């Protein structure tokens, strides 16, 4: 279970002596196996919320408790060292999470379909290739809860299909927090949606209602 | 109860070991990777700096000064200076620049610091060792007269470098001012740290001041005392230096503790 209680997050302005409140008094609970979506326009605090749940940054006020293992925010650049090759990244992740290199390499090779590029530095990858590697690594580590920021929209059609398979069929018992603009994905797989607007968050059990409100923002 | 705690501690220790191993590997691969000389650069790089400088100095200075052979004196000054500059130089924003690693929950800002600055320190210490052996074989440097003191000097110089680097690393994430202040300070440091002089050369009131405000001077005195033995007179106070470094390290760790609050990651 993940319990987010009255979380606010301020960022100091780079140019003025003020603070911007990016999230304000957000609370929700995520049970084991539950899948929720986070909806919100660009800049509404979706990624910040995901980083806080992942434990990368600390909330200014409030608390976040986790009783299951939580992935890093999958999809961005984080978690992978750009200057190293794909293979060396696999090796590094294996060491951090105590996994067997061969098993993980086989899985990543099969899922990310990067072929010979695994021997090249990640910095030379395209955005789609990077996202595939990042996602494959997080699936190979096998977390209880996945935090996913827009990734499914990044890949091509085949990758999208395989992501669904891995995340929703094979790992149906895992929890998920998904930031996405795509109504179909959200409606197919999430049971609730948290709508963020100007830092405030409200949880909806009715996904149609959540999308109506999101579209009106 | 105690057994359970020991087991928890043991598991934490295992995680720590794995994380540091992974970070060392990453730093290694990132800096020297699988190209050309590979990991030989670890100690070759500091030497590329050191040899031309030492060579230049021997051309412009007399072969013996204050009873010490010139090259030995410069070696004992410049190599530790290089170590300090390399270890502290990379410390600015070290956590932010490597923030991608914080995406893994087991990795702490302190782990990142140790991974980078620790490897830098090891590289520079091996450069000291390699260049020493090289000069020894060429007959330019003698075996240290008191090698325990010589090594203790290097130990304190390493501690000093890491303690300053830790403080700079933690503070630079809080304010950009640190960067602007640190760069000139690290230049002035070259003149003041003791790489070009010994405490004995200073007139007395100045010597007392230098010894009380200049911690690396004590480490330099020990290194040179160990290297040259009774040929020179040295001044150092190990307990004073230990206290200063302990306080600085504690301050650095304390500042590093909540550095996550000040980080803005991509």
By a Cβ cutoff of 8 Å, what residues of chain B touch chain A?
18-19, 21-22, 25-26, 29-30, 33-34, 99-107, 258, 260-261, 263-266
In a domain, B12, yes or no: no
Interface of A with B in 104-143 (CB under 8 A): none
In this complex, the residue of B22, B34, B99 whose CB is nearest that of residue A95 is B22
Instruction: Record the tokens describing residue A188, joined without a space.
Output: 């197919």
Lowest mean pLDDT among A59-73, B43-57, B167-181, B210-224: B43-57
The widest CA-to-CA distance across chain A, in whole angstroms, is 51
Residues of B in contact with A57 (CB under 8 A): 260-261, 263, 265
Domain that holds residue B119: 17-262
* C-alpha dihedral (B183, B185, B188, B192), degrees to nearest 10: -140
Domain A1-69+143-217: CATH class, spelled out: alpha beta
In a domain, B11, yes or no: no
Cβ contact A37:A180 at 8 Å: yes
pTM given for the model: 0.88
Question: Of A167, A162, A165, whose CA–CA distance to A148 is shortest?
Answer: A167
Structural domains counted in chain B: 1
Three-state DSSP state, A8: strand
Residues of A in contact with B29 (CB under 8 A): 81, 83-85, 88
Tell me: the pLDDT tens digits for A17-70?
A: 888 899 999 999 999 999 999 998 888 889 899 999 999 888 999 999 999 999
A88 shares contact with chain B (CB less than 8 Å): yes
Bridge partners for A145 per DSSP: A70, A175
Residues of B in contact with A22 (CB under 8 A): none
ipTM of this model? 0.87
DSSP B173: T
In a domain, B51, yes or no: yes
Tell me: the pLDDT tens digits for A141-200?
A: 989 999 988 766 666 788 888 888 888 888 888 999 998 877 877 887 789 999 999 889
Phi-psi region of A95 (alpha: psi -120 to 50; beta: other; left: phi over 0): alpha
Residues of B in contact with A84 (CB under 8 A): 26, 29-30, 33
d(CA B132, CA B245): 26
Cβ contact B84:B193 at 8 Å: yes
d(CA A40, CA A22): 13
In a domain, B256, yes or no: yes
């Amino acid at each position: 279970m993940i319990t987010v209680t009255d979380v606010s997050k301020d960022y100091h302005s780079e140019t003025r002596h003020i603070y911007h409140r990016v999230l304000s008094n957000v609370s929700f609970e995520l049970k084991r196996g539950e899948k929720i979506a986070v909806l919100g326009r660009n800049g509404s605090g979706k990624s910040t919320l995901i980083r806080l749940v992942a434990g990368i940054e600390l909330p200014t006020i409030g608390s976040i408790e986790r009783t299951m293992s939580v992935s890093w925010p999958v999809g961005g650049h984080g978690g992978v060292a750009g200057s190293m090759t794909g293979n060396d990244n696999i090796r590094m992740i294996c060491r951090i999470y105590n996994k067997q290199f061969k098993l993980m390499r086989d899985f990543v090779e099969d899922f990310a379909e990067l072929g010979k590029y695994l021997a090249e530095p990640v910095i030379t990858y395209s955005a789609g290739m990077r996202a595939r590697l990042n996602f494959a690594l997080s699936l190979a580590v096998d977390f209880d809860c996945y935090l996913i920021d827009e990734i499914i929209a990044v890949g091509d059609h085949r990758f999208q299909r395989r992501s669904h398979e891995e995340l929703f069929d094979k790992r149906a018992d895992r929890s998920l927090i998904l930031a996405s603009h795509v109504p179909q994905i959200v409606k197919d797989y999430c049971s609730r949606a948290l709508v963020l607007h100007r830092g405030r968050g409200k949880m909806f059990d009715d996904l149609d209602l959540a999308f109506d409100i999101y579209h009106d923002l | 109860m105690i057994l359970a705690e020991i087991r928890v501690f043991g598991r934490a220790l295992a995680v720590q070991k794995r994380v540091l191993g992974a970070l060392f590997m990453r730093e290694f691969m990132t800096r020297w990777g699988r190209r050309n000389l590979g990991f030989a650069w670890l100690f070759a790089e500091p030497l590329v700096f050191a040899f031309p400088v030492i060579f230049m100095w021997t051309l412009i200075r007399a072969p013996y000064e204050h009873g010490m052979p010139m090259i030995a004196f410069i070696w004992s000054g410049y190599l530790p200076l290089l170590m300090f500059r390399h270890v502290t130089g990379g410390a600015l924003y070290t956590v932010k620049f490597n923030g991608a690693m914080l995406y893994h929950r087991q990795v702490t800002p302190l782990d990142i610091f140790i991974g980078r600055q620790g490897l830098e320190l090891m590289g520079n210490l091996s450069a000291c060792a390699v260049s020493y052996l090289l000069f020894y074989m060429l007959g330019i440097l003698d075996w240290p007269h008191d090698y325990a003191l010589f090594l203790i000097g290097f130990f304190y110089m390493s501690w000093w470098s890491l303690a300053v680097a830790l403080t700079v690393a933690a503070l630079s994430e809080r304010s950009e001012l640190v960067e602007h202040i640190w760069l000139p300070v690290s230049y002035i440091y070259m003149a003041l740290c003791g790489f070009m002089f010994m405490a004995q050369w200073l007139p007395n009131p100045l010597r007392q001041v230098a010894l009380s405000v200049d911690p690396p001077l004590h480490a330099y005195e020990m290194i040179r005392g160990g290297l040259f033995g009774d040929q020179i007179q040295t001044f150092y106070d190990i307990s004073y230096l230990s206290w200063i470094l302990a306080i600085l390290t504690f301050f650095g760790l304390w500042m590093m503790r909540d550095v996550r609050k000040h980080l803005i990651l991509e």
